[in-house]
Amino acid sequence: MNVQNADLNGKPIVISTFAGCGGSSLGYQLAGFRELLAVEWDDNAVETFRLNFPDVPVYHGDICKLTSEKCMELAGIGYKELDILDGSPPCQGFSTAGKRKFDDPRNSLFMEFARLLKDLQPKVFVMENVTGMIKGYMKQAYLQIIKTLRECGYKAKGQVLNAMYFNVPQSRERVIIIGVREDLGIEPNHPKPQGKPITPRMAFKDCPGDEVKPLPEWMKEAAKFMDAGNYNHVHVLKAFLRVHGKSAGSQNTKLLSWDRCACTLVKSEIASTGIIHPDRERYLTIMEMKRITSFPDDFQFYGNRKAIVSRIGNSVPPNLMKAIAEHIKVNILEKANERSQTHS
C-alpha cells in the first residue's frame, strides 16, 4: 500500500466528520483530495452538502452511533489506509460567545472524534475549533484534548490561524490542531500566511445581485453613529442605546468598511441584527456572505435566509482548509511517502 494515499487515482483521501454543509470538504477538493465519506446529523446541512457533493457518501445521523467498522465499510478503506480524518466538533461549550463551561455536554462530542481516530489510525488528523478553548480556565480543556489526541498514537500540535491571511476576505481566528501518526516520524506543522487581507471592496467586485434585506429605519439611524470597520461591541452598543434605547442585538451587529477586512460572520440574524453593508442601507446579501467566506458564487445552499446564514456562519472557510490541506499534502503526506520508499 502506498503510504501517501489509498486512492487508485493518486489523490490523497479524507473523511470529514461534523461536515456541515461542506466548507472543509470544498477546501480538500480544491487541494486535490478525494473525500470518501462525510458525517453529519443536521438535516439542512446534509441537504446542502448533497447539492454540492453528489458523489460523496454521507452518513446522515448521530456520530455516537457510527462504529469504526461501519465507517471503514462506507468509505471502502481498511485500518491505517486513510490519509486524513477531519473534524470540527460542535464548539458552543468552548465559544467565547457562551459561558465556556468545562463540562458542557456538547464538548463530549470531541470524544467521538477521538474514538474514530484511535480506531481508524489515519496518517494525519485535522481538528478545527474556536479560540475560546485556549482562553482562561478553558485552556485546561484544551490541554486535556491535546493529551487525549496524543494518547491515540499521534504527535499533535495546535495553532491559531486567522482565515484573512489565507485568501478569505474575513477575519476569523480558529484553533487548528494537526496530528501526525507517530510511526511516520514527522512533526506536525502549520501553513504560513499566504497573503494580505482582502477587503470587501475587492471581494464584492462584480458580485451578482441577490435578494436584499433592508435595514429597519431605526437601524439606519443607528448606523450613522457607527464607524465602518469598528467591530468593537461597546462601539455598536452605544449607537443602539442612543437611537433605540435597547442593547438587544448589538452583540450580533457589525458595520463593514469598504477598505478593512470583514469581521467574523455570525451564525444567526436575531430580529434586526446582522452584518451591515458598507452603504449603511441594508444587510449583506447571501451572495456577499459567500464572497467574504470564500464560497464560490455557484455553491448552492438549501432553505431560507435563516438556514443559509446558519450554514455559512458555522462553516470552515473553504480557502482556509484548502491552504491547510495543501500544506499537509506537501509537507507531511509526500514526505511520509518518500520515507516509506527509502526504507522499502
210-225 pLDDT, tens per residue? 999 999 999 999 999 9
- End-to-end CA separation in angstroms for the chain: 11
CATH class of 200-313: alpha beta
**What's the confidence (pLDDT) of residue 249?**
84
Question: Of 88, 83, 158, which Cα lies nearest the Cα of 330?
Answer: 83
Cα dihedral value 17, 19, 24, 26, nearest 10: 120
* Residue ranges of the chain whose pLDDT lies below 50: 1-5
Q: Is residue 71 flagged as an active site residue?
A: no
**What's the confidence (pLDDT) of residue 95?**
54
Catalytic residue among 21, 64, 71, 91: 91
| Entry pTM | 0.92
CA angle (92, 296, 176) in 5-degree steps: 35
**What's the confidence (pLDDT) of residue 4?**
39
Buried b (16+ CB within 10 A) or exposed e, 206-227: eeeeeeeeebeeebeebbeebe
Give per-residue pLDDT as tens, 172-204.
999 999 999 999 999 999 999 998 999 999 999
Task: Domain 13-196+316-336: give its CATH architecture.
Answer: 3-Layer(aba) Sandwich (3.40)
Please, which residues have CB within 8 angstroms of residue 16's CB and are 6 or more apart in sequence? 24, 25, 28, 35, 37, 38, 39, 86, 87
Give me the residue spans of the domains in the chain.
13-196+316-336, 200-313
> CA 222, CA 304: separation in Å to the nearest integer?
27
